[in-house]
């Protein structure tokens, strides 16, 4: 069951990740929207004026350069703008990194959770207590994030590249090229930039999403609100996706900005770390900036949860009917029984 869980979780996650990639790309662009791009004044002060006035003239320069914030636009406007300026294919920029990330991260996360779930489920009641679900989610999420962090960094950078001026773009050709360039130009350690945030976010997402999904499904069935079927799983998926988005969005915004920042030799980086990024973001843009991209991220989380669950369901259906050479009656019976896991 452990190996099967790894395989099912990985395949379903890859399909879900690839299909929701445009939503994730728009979310990343929204999370970077409004990020401060004010130049470093130390470089400005190093220049001398081309001419001078009389000594009696008294000219004072502002201590800071204040630029008007760019107008904030919604997800639909961002999507249309991307298609108009970069082409429809740009919505899938970095999809190779998404596939690698899902292969490494989600396969490990979903598979390990499946192993722990079967190990910690009470054999008498065939249920797992909520506390154990949360612990299993934390463990599997942390391990998966640690494994998939390099692909996550590459994915964020490839998704965000199109928003930069042409002369400032990284222009990674693929996830392999991205990982290679980062290693050569910034060092191998750059592949793990924001890894602490990635692990924390993964732990929160996995614990909140998987635990709330299982808990919601059990409550729906126990109270007789719905029969055991696709409708129950879709309803539980909506709740799980919403809970995961509320819990993880602030960390996701900070993670995106830390991973995307340019670090050049001899130049102070925009952020010293996660806390510095969070403080600067809230100070410059307000606390609600931590929930940028929430709607798009919530839709992606819900769709991911539904596709992963139905993907495993379809896998079970195909396997059952291939092995049993089942008739229509067996197929109908399988639909009503495979959900009891």
Q: How many domains does the chain have?
A: 1
Q: Which of 43-57, 156-170, 250-264, 299-313 has the lowest mean pLDDT?
A: 43-57
- 65 within some domain: no
Q: Indicate if the pLDDT at residue 263 is higher than 60.
A: yes
- What is the average pLDDT across 59-73? 55
- 52 within some domain: no
pLDDT-based confidence at residue 322 (cuts at 50, 70, 90): very low
3-state SS of the chain is CHHHHHHHHHHHHHHHHHHCHHHHHHHHHHHHCCCCCCCCHHHHCCCCCCCCCCCCCCCCCCCCCCCCCCCCCCHHHHHHHHHHHHCHHHHHCCHHHHHHHHHHHHHHHHHHHHHHHHHHCECCCCECCHHHHHHHHHHHHHHHHHHHHHHHHHHHHHHHHHHCCHHHCCCCCCHHHHHHHHHHHHCHHHHHCCHHHHHHHHHHHHHHHHHHHHHHHHHHHHCCCCCCCHHHHHHHHHHHHHHHHHHHHHHHHHHHHHHHCCCCCCCCCCCCCHHHHHHHHHHHHCHHHHHCCHHHHHHHHHHHHHHHHHHHHHHHHHHHHHHHCCCHHHHHHHHHHCCCC
pLDDT-based confidence at residue 333 (cuts at 50, 70, 90): very low
Residue 332 is predicted with a pLDDT of 31
- What is the average pLDDT across 244-253? 89
Q: Indicate if the pLDDT at residue 327 is higher than 60.
A: no
- 283 within some domain: yes
Residue 46 is predicted with a pLDDT of 44
pLDDT-based confidence at residue 181 (cuts at 50, 70, 90): very high
- 94 within some domain: yes
Q: What is the pLDDT of residues 96-124, one digit of tens each?
A: 999 999 888 877 877 788 889 888 998 88
Residue 59 is predicted with a pLDDT of 54
- 45 within some domain: no
Instruction: Give the domain CATH number at 177.
Output: 1.50.40.10
Rounded Cα distance, 6 and 251, in Å:
26
Q: Indicate if the pLDDT at residue 156 is higher than 90.
A: yes
- What is the average pLDDT across 58-85? 70
Please give the residue that has the higher pLDDT: either 70 or 339: 70
- pTM for this predicted structure: 0.71
Q: Indicate if the pLDDT at residue 339 is higher than 50.
A: no
User: Cα angle vertex 178, ends 174, 180, to 5°?
Assistant: 115
- 57 within some domain: no
pLDDT-based confidence at residue 275 (cuts at 50, 70, 90): very high
Residue 45 is predicted with a pLDDT of 46
The domain containing residue 243 runs over which residues?
2-34+73-337
- 47 within some domain: no
Please give the residue that has the higher pLDDT: either 261 or 38: 261
Q: What is the pLDDT of residues 201-238, one digit of tens each?
A: 877 877 777 678 878 888 888 888 887 777 787 788 78
């Amino acid at each position: 069951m452990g190996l099967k869980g790894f395989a099912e979780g990985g395949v379903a996650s890859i399909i879900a990740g690839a299909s929701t990639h445009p939503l994730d790309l728009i979310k990343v662009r929204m999370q970077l929207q409004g990020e401060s791009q004010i130049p470093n004044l130390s470089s400005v002060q190093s220049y001398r004026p081309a001419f001078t006035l009389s000594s009696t003239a008294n000219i004072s320069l502002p201590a800071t350069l204040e630029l008007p914030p760019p107008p904030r636009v919604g997800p639909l406007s961002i999507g249309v703008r991307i298609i108009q300026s970069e082409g429809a294919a740009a919505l899938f920029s970095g999809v190779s990194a998404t596939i690698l990330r899902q292969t490494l991260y989600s396969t490990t996360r979903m598979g390990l959770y499946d192993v722990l779930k079967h190990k910690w489920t009470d054999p008498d009641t065939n249920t797992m207590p909520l506390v154990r679900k949360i612990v299993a989610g934390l463990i599997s999420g942390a391990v998966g994030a640690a494994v998939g962090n390099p692909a996550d960094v590459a994915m964020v950078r490839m998704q965000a590249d199109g928003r930069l001026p042409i002369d400032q773009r990284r222009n990674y050709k693929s996830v392999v090229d991205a990982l290679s360039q980062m290693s050569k130009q910034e060092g191998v350690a750059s592949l793990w930039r924001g890894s602490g945030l990635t692990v924390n976010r993964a732990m929160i997402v996995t614990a909140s999403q998987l635990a709330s999904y299982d808990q919601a499904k059990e409550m729906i069935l126990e109270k007789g609100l719905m029969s055991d079927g696709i409708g129950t799983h879709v309803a539980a998926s909506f709740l799980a996706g919403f809970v995961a988005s509320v819990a993880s969005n602030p960390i996701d915004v900070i993670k995106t900005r830390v991973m995307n920042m340019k670090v050049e030799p001899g130049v102070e980086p925009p952020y010293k770390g996660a806390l510095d990024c969070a403080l600067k973001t809230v100070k410059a843009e307000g606390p609600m900036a931590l929930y940028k991209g929430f709607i798009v991220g919530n839709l992606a989380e819900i769709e991911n949860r539904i596709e992963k669950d139905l993907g495993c369901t379809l896998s079970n259906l195909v396997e059952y009917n291939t092995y049993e050479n089942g008739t229509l009656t067996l197929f109908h019976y399988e639909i009503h029984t495979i959900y009891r896991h």
